[in-house]
Amino acid sequence: MAWRGSVLRWVKTEIITSQKRTVPDSRLNPHNQQRCGFRREAKRPDTKKGRSDPNGPPPEAPAPAAPRPPRAPRPTLLRPLVFTVGFTGCSFGAAAILQYETLKSRVQTARDEEEAEKLLQGSHDMTYWHEWWKQLSSFQRQLILMMSVVDDFWSSLTEGQRTVSGIIAVNVAVLCCWRIPSMQRSMIKYFTSNPASKTRCLPMILSSFSHYSIIHMVANMYVLWTFSSGIVSLLGKEQFLAVYMSAGVISSMVSYTCKTATGRLYPSLGASGAVMAVLAAVCAKVPEAKLGIIFLPMVTFTAGNALKALVVMDAAGLILGWRLFDHAAHLGGALFGIWYVAYGHKLIWRKREPLVKLWHDLRSSGPGGSRPGRGPGVSGAGPGPR
């Protein structure tokens, strides 16, 4: 046991000696290393303004100012102008051909109905139709009755109201397309007119059938429905369609011009320009007609005064820079409607006869047609009946 006690005393003596030796070294280990990691930088000598240290580094030059972004060039309107002239001419040319085809179809339909009445006359009596009605199922009878009601309602409308029904249906369909999220980009590209856009010609037509707000569409279509009977009875169905389509493109062209001149390049849409042309044409042709407000039926005014007030309001909005409506498109449509009633009908529509004659010759000389001096579809050389 004596050797064990001597060994323990020797171990304790070595531990105490080693601790005394490591005390000064421990002051440099973690604490000193942490301080060395955060040494303070030497202070730079302060120099007064306007003086520089000859031995020091040269002063830094000031950073150059950022260059101004180049101004976007104003869009050129040559292509939209050419498109407007070409589309207007094609609209009236197509309307003249459509009128020719409509008259021809009416004549042929009247002949067919007359021949059908002669064939059916005396062949069937009321007993036949009574037995035929009994053989139908209840669903077929209800379907026939519903079709009869729709036909009666359609027949009760004027020709102008039947004509604008198609325009209203197209506007409703485009309004529904605006509510589809996946079509938003295409709708903005093709159904809004903007002179700064890459696609500028086609939206001049499509934007005339485009409305994003339901109130905007209802207001425009109500005015169009109200004045449809007067404008169609004044111009006819085909000529009205040509005026309406042309007014939409011309009003967009006027809007392009004003936006480019003022630098306010923003998109616009709506049928207001074309509707203003219809309204202005009727008011200019019948200035003494009495008009009223739907919510204030006791307030009446003449059509001429209403047209003057609308033109003055849109002119003021264009000069003062109002952004509530596209006043340039409104004013362009109204001026086009007034001009067409005063001069355009004589300069354009009354000179359609050469085009109609050319179309008639092309139709007659085509396959299945009738050439001059020949019957329809006859290829012989002998003269036919006149």
Catalytic residues: 272, 330
Phi and psi at residue 75, to the nearest 5°:
-65, 145
**Which helix (H) or strand (E) segment is 301 a member of?**
strand 300-302
Largest CA distance in the chain: 157
User: 191 and 204 in contact (C-beta within 8 Å)?
Assistant: no
Closest by CA to 241, choosing from 321, 160, 177, 316, is 160
Name the CA dihedral angle for 297, 301, 306, 312, rounded to a multiple of 10 degrees.
Answer: -110
Closest by CA to 338, choosing from 258, 293, 257, 276, is 276
Listing DSSP states for 219-258 in one string gives: HHHHHHHHHHHHHHHHH-HHHHHHHHHHHHHHHHHHHHHH
DSSP 350: G
Q: Is 42 exposed, middle or buried (CB count within 10 Å of its CB: 0-12, 13-18, 19+)?
A: exposed
Q: Is 359 exposed, middle or buried (CB count within 10 Å of its CB: 0-12, 13-18, 19+)?
A: middle
